[in-house]
Structure 1
Amino acid sequence: MSSTRTSGRGRALSLAVAALLACATGCAGSTGGGVATGTALQGEGPTTTGAIGFSDVKVGGIYRMAFPLTRNISKQAVSVTGVKLLNIPAGGKLLGYSVYSVKDTPGYRLGYQETAHPTAGDVDLDKYPNYAGHPYTIKPGVLSDKYAVVRLKVTAKVTKPVTGCEADYTQAGRTYHQTLTCRFQLDMA
């Protein structure tokens, strides 16, 4: 952010646009612009250890990858308002975000490649309620039943992993964002 002062209306418009662009999931250092770096969330699950990925990735393929499950480790409820990937490598094109509940889907779906002809046992997340664009609350000390999923298309050779899952949330009337560790490998043949 530049040192130029922004009017209250301009700042509110900027925050509103940022909230609309994000789709789903993040308590204490200022980053400027009225949004602080958060510490209330803790990422859990395989995506936090680099264990998620796809082999034999092809140009034109569409892949879905789950953000980490999130636990509120603070003493106050948080309202998750959005998520985004921070580092999409060259050759990857973001198609969008979704938010699902493990209560609706057959568990925490880590990821899958979309195909024109699904096989028996494939789970199509599009058949389940999508909570993207709707804030959801995580109570203190609780692991959320909601999880975000990114949809990514491979447009060219990918040589680096997809990393950095950022969650946006409000807590006690303040807005925060928090980067959660995540890593998705797209290994090409």
Structure 2
Amino acid sequence: MRLTVTGLLNGCLLLALGGCAGAAMEGANMAKDEVVYENNIEAARAGQVEAQYRVGEALCCSLGDRKGFYDTRAATDWLCRAAAQGHAPASRKLGRIYSGEVVDGVRVMRRVAERVSGRPQDRALSYAWLSVAAGQGDAEAGAEAQTLWGDLDEAERARAGGLTAGGRSLPCRWDEAFPG
């Protein structure tokens, strides 16, 4: 295959347009998340479990320290409130957050940024939260926990077993999972 100037320019144009489309899609996703937040925050503050979950989902998740609308610490606060009331999707989301896999859906730019920035993870805690979600009736969380278990090393398995045994409360909020 012969590289031509026209072919090179067309390739650059496609990459540039793809970047613009990605930015536009991320902007639309952020606008949607802001609307979800505004539509649910009062009910969440009043203790409504589904609203707490929706607010946590909308705020999830910042890449590194809080920048702009997304805020991992606030997201985990709301998700913890919902999980404490037995809300399986909130428990599953906590498991995903602590695994380091927080970006859902078609969010290409955020996925790339997440990979580049690196994200703290605690796979044993992730397993524990996915197990909680499975116990609350989320079959997909159970499958995710099983897959994750196969990826844990011996020390992580021992810690995960300790976290899931004995009815202790799990670290939930971001600052509990990653103090300091």
Tell me the TM-score normalized by structure 2. 0.24
Tell me the TM-score normalized by structure 1. 0.23
Structure (1 or 2) with the larger CA radius of gyration: 2
Q: Which has the higher strand share?
A: 1
Higher RCO (C-alpha under 8 Å, 6+ residues apart)? 1
Q: Which has the higher helix share?
A: 2
